[in-house]
Amino acid sequence: MVSTRILERGAIRLLVLDQLLVPAEPNQSIADPATYPADLDGLAASLGLDCFVLASRHWAKSANPSLTVHPSGNFGEATYGGRSRELQFTNPKLMRSVYTRLLSGAPPRYSVSLEATHHSPTHFKTPMFFAELGSSEKQWRDPVAAAFLAETILKGVREPLDNSPVAVGFGGGHYCPKFSDLERDYAFGHICPKYALDLLDERLIREMVEKTGDGVDLGILEKNLKERHASLIRRTLKELDLDYLEA
């Protein structure tokens, strides 16, 4: 059930969920949409919302202070909820709007980066993406960083940036250093990292494009991908009448 706490600031709504949307532990998959703690599509329809920014905690073994944004979806098995081999609709231009503002004023010692597409949700029709504070409980309880993330999300939603080409990305690490740098000039949607390229097929490449939204302009491949991966990506993008570049 969703909490009855629905806060308002102009046209923006803040919905507080009573339960985690993404399972805290692996292999606790939420495959059936009826088992989610909230019907986000129903809430979007009733409240007149066209996108969700999911403010969340981020965990990593490194415990490094970080602020990250990313789309959700599973290229492989649904280890942390959602359906296997399914991606969630996202909003790349709004994600870039939040990301670029995180870059401009992050608290000291906090890194800012994109993350590759991972974990649930996967099945909602309403576009969404995560904006996360991490990477340990120490940062989750940091009032300065939490307030900065919240205010940045609000500003990014109120004053969207919409003049950059939309891209999908292929390759690189989970924290996407190349694509994080290119996010200054491109609005990335789904990103398939190097560790997931073996899971990629034509259907998933098409889904990356179809569920990125805003009209994808091109694909960006990191240099030195294995040729079997690169050739599949190039061929599928060509079939979709999309340009590509290698960076």
Q: Dump pLDDT digits (tens) for 151-209.
A: 999 999 998 877 899 999 999 999 999 999 999 999 999 999 999 999 999 999 999 99
Q: Where are the alpha helices (DSSP H) in 86-142?
A: 92-105, 137-140
Single-letter amino acid, residue 79 = T
**Of 30-34, 207-211, 220-224, minimum mean pLDDT range:** 30-34
Phi first, then psi, for residue 110 (nearest 5°) are: -90, 125
Exposure on the CB side of residue 44, measured as CA atoms within 13 A: 13
Alpha carbon dihedral 162, 164, 170, 174, in 10-degree steps, equals: -60
- For residue 83, pLDDT over 50 is answered with yes
Q: How many domains does the chain have?
A: 1
Domain of 110, in residue numbers = 2-246
d(CA 12, CA 156): 11
| pLDDT given for residue 2 in this prediction | 47
Q: Look up the CATH number of the domain holding residue 170.
A: 3.40.630.50
Higher pLDDT, 42 or 19: 42
| pLDDT given for residue 24 in this prediction | 77
Instruction: Tally Cβ neighbours within 10 Å of residue 99.
Output: 27
